[in-house]
A = this chain, B = another copy of it.
Amino acid sequence: MPDDPDEASLIQTVLRHRPTASRHRLPAASFARPGDDAALVGLGLVVTVDAMVEGVHWDDRCSAEDVGWKLAAVNASDIGAMGCRPTWALLTLSVPAPADGAWVEAFAHGLGLGLGHFGAQLVGGDTTRSPGPRLLTLTMAGEGARPVGRDGGRPGDELWVTGTLGEAAAGFFEGQPAGLAWLRRPVPPVELGAALGELGLVHAMMDLSDGLLRDLPRLCAASGTGATVDAAALPAGPALAGLSAETRLARQVAFGDDYQLLIAAAPATRPALLERAAALGVALHCVGHLDAAPGLRLQGGPWPRPDFDHFPQAAAGRGT
């Protein structure tokens, strides 16, 4: 999940030097979809890794226990967005020496809660000293009969979003309590993502970690489509109550940390989608559709200014 203006170029540099041939055969799809939330490395087996750095991905509004939960949740979100269920995880823990035992204890407790909630087992890891900030990474694997990428969207597909958007943003900027709770302990709809993959109900899916205005263009680029989104259709929770229309929309689309699903599916699957979401207690809103014409058409508004994507970077403690 890019969280830095130059992350894309770093990734390109690394990929350019990647070995071109390997003794080992992996599914052809593994490399066809480098932008997916997780990589397909075997039949129905996906893997992802996320790093969280103190002072970059969290500040003192997140307790050690929150950080542990969130590390599990953001990885599980990637797995669910691929239409899969989490299976195992590997941790790396880099902390200053001597280690702050109470911090590690609380972190481990939160991580265990999160992994347990999302159904992943911790199978190993590595710990090192860090002369700098605490830095954590979690590798997570998932399984699913039909992993879903970002590249299957088709013109005419309806665009769906789970839950509500902008909760974490309202927590971060306004200190709104329900928003802070989501910023600290997001609960992505992993089970719904896995079910939708399993049932073959969706064409493309990804999780909203960087905000709709940064994430939707990625789905469109992978699918070779454009999109039309209606501001009035974007779901807003009580965390956004009392905000001006302009601020509310900015919170909903330009911050991120939503960890909701963005889904592209044929209109004919609408009843099945809604039924499955309702059965799992997840709200589902149709927010627009994919178009054959490239580009993003934003209806309603006022939408955030075109420089929206530089705004969150300036804030300390920006979450990913």
Contact = CB atoms under 8 A, between A and B. Distances in A.
Contact of A24 (B15, B121, B127): B121
Contacts of A15: 122
Instruction: Bin the interface of chain A by size.
Output: 35 or more
B14 A93 contact: yes
Contacts of A104: 10, 13-14
A131 B320 contact: no
A105 B16 CA distance: 9
A159 interface: no
Contacts of A1: 126
A132 B48 CA distance: 24
Nearest to A55: B131
Contact of A126 (B31, B50, B101): B50
A318 to B, nearest CB: 9
Q: Is the interface of A mostly helix, strand, loop or mixed?
A: mixed
B56 A131 contact: yes
A128 B51 contact: yes
A139 B90 contact: yes
A272 B309 CA distance: 62
A125 B49 contact: yes
A137 B135 CA distance: 11
A24 B119 contact: yes
A238 to B, nearest CB: 31
A112 B19 contact: yes
A130 B10 contact: no
A4 interface: yes
A98 B4 CA distance: 9
A94 B53 contact: yes
A16 B53 CA distance: 23
Contacts of A55: 131
B133 A137 contact: no
Nearest to A90: B49
A280 interface: no
A222 interface: no
A109 interface: yes
A18 interface: yes
A73 B137 CA distance: 20
B112 A18 contact: yes
Given A56-B131, A132-B135, 5 more contacts: A13-B104, A41-B123, A51-B137, A53-B94, A131-B132
20 contacts: A1-B126, A2-B127, A6-B98, A10-B127, A13-B105, A14-B122, A19-B115, A24-B85, A41-B123, A42-B45, A47-B141, A49-B92, A49-B126, A49-B137, A51-B126, A51-B128, A53-B128, A53-B131, A130-B132, A131-B133
Interface of A: 1-4, 6-7, 9-11, 13-24, 26, 30-31, 34, 38-39, 41-42, 45, 47-53, 55-57, 85-88, 90-95, 97-99, 101, 104-105, 108-109, 111-113, 115-116, 119-133, 135, 137, 139, 141, 143, 320
